[in-house]
Amino acid sequence: MPLIEFERFIDESVLKRGRTYFNKNLVTQCEEITAGRYEAVVAGTEDYTVQLNLTDGIISECICDCPYDLGPICKHIVAVCFRLQQDSPNLKKAATRPIKSRKPAKRRTIADQVNELLEKITHDELKQFTSEIVLSDRSLREIFLSSCATHDSGESKAFYAKRVKAILRSASERHGYIGWHSSGRVATDVFRLLGSAQKHIDEENFMSGVYICTAVMEQMTAALQYADDSNGSIGDCIRFAFDMLFDIASSTVPEAVRVHLIDYCFSAFDKKVYEGWDWHIDMPQLASMLLETEGEFQHLLDRTNKAGRSEFEVEEVETVTYQALSKIRGEKEAALYLKQHISNPSLRRKSIEIDLKKKRYDHARSVALDGVEYDQEKRRGLVQEWHDWLLKIAQAQNDREGIMNYARMLFIDGFRHEQDYYGLMKQHISPDKWVNWVAELIKDVATKSWGYPTGRIAEIYVREGWYDRLLEMVKKSPSLESLERYEKYLKKDYTDELAILYADAVIRYVRENIGRQHYKTAAKYLRRIKKLGSPEKAAKIVEILRAEYPQRRALQEELDSV
């Protein structure tokens, strides 16, 4: 959005609050870090950092670390935008004047200033500064020690585990518990450590990456027992570390790294380091990617034969075993294993994929139909997947009748969206028969569809441009959500009807819901009524709600924004 007119793109209530923050001079430390990249701190109950990219007067990206999630732009970003407008008084004029060929004066960014100083200061001065700042800031100290550990002969998983423990200990509260807010700070520091691991991996220092990732995984998994991770930040650290290990396993690594990592997988599995979490089964999966010998394959089998207590674990172990068989013993033995474990959805899927690639259509169809029968009672979602495979097989054979049957079936069920099933049907029905075909389809959707049949029928009305029927459907259940969903199709010809439906729905919504967030929602839809060209209708609803709920101060304040 253009900085000179960013206000047009912001919700009015957010804009108002952001302007208040700016007017109170709460935007501090607003600096240009590199060309066009700004960073600012916005003070409040807590200080939040805003990062904003500005290119040729256009805001291309803006991020704030506050918890606001009701829209893309928060009040802190708005406040910073006002500050940047103020700091660029010639921006609006420059945007309207003809572009001149003169070269603009180059501004010295923070990065320029830092680079200039680094060129001027001595090596001893830099060492002295680094020592002082690292010793005075725990977070920086851990990053420094971790980033430079490759220069230390004592680098190991234990070395990095000590770093992670220090981060956890500094965030722990009474009795060692880590609260919700503190867990977020922990994740921030640990992600910096993982950033160091990624740098090592990019530079092919794979062993350092393995040490850091395994240390983070173990310590953070243990921390889940005494931390509030309701925001998922600690779990995100563990998953990110696992992903990096899978990246390493997918790379060509030195033999010492390969052997070390595969031994770690077996050891962690044996010691049940991650038992109770999906990561426990990820250990054999990771090991299977690193296998190169029959002996290593046997070690994997020794573990997988002991695993698999739940149905999920059994299926995961079977999938890992198949992948390892393919790699070590070849296609023939893997194909036999596939046939023996075809009830496993992953392996059934693999079997169909192989058959399609080799154009063994009859066998692929047989395996998919067997899946439909096998999963009919307990796994309806899988049944839809096997029907989708049957559709793909029909398409591969140009089987018009099969395409029509399976596309129709999948559209009616409405669970999968792998293809445009409606469009496929339309391709294979002659125009003179299409209207009658659609009429029968609507009847079947209404009586046979699972989940949300009205949504399927509404889709038909939209695809065919039958907006009069769509309006009648919406009138039967005019919730705010359904009105918003179909407004773009109806507003051209039915703006008055939409405004009336919105008005009634807003009144019902306020009567059924209490709280500022609900009042914000009501105000949003009242503004939508105004945009439809019915400001008098919106004003009337505001008047009704003010009179009906004079004691609801939050509601009255949100109505002010309308």
Domain contains 186:
yes
Q: Is the pLDDT of residue 4 over 90?
A: no
d(CA 396, CA 231): 45
d(CA 131, CA 118): 16
Token pair, residue 58, equals 């256009």
CB 542 within 8 A of CB 559: yes
The helix (run of H) or strand (run of E) holding residue 295 is helix 294-304
Query: Which has more pLDDT, 99 or 328?
Result: 328
Phi-psi region of 525 (alpha: psi -120 to 50; beta: other; left: phi over 0): alpha
Q: Are residues 107 and 132 in the same domain?
A: no
Token pair, residue 496, equals 């008055």
Q: Are residues 248 and 168 in the same domain?
A: yes
Q: Is the pLDDT of residue 86 over 50?
A: yes
Q: Are residues 155 and 196 in the same domain?
A: yes
pLDDT at 105: 45
Domain contains 87:
yes
Q: Are residues 83 and 46 in the same domain?
A: yes
Range of the domain at 483: 466-560
Q: Are residues 67 and 160 in the same domain?
A: no
pLDDT at 142: 64
pLDDT at 222: 93
Q: Are residues 125 and 85 in the same domain?
A: no
Q: Is the pLDDT of residue 98 over 60?
A: no
d(CA 522, CA 516): 10
At 157, which amino acid appears?
A: K
d(CA 180, CA 499): 43
Integer CA distances (angstroms), 218 to 190, 202, 223, 372, 463, in order: 13, 23, 9, 41, 52
CB 16 within 8 A of CB 561: yes
pLDDT at 28: 84
Percent of the chain residues topping a pLDDT of 70: 93
Q: State the angle between helix axes of 480-490 and 467-476 in degrees (0 to 180), rounded to the nearest 10.
A: 170
Q: Are residues 156 and 231 in the same domain?
A: yes
d(CA 411, CA 424): 10
Confidence of residue 393 (pLDDT cuts 50, 70, 90): very high
Q: Are residues 11 and 106 in the same domain?
A: yes
pLDDT at 206: 94
CB 48 within 8 A of CB 111: no
In the chain, count of helices (H) and strands (E)?
28, 4
Q: Are residues 245 and 129 in the same domain?
A: yes
Total tally of structural domains belonging to the chain = 3
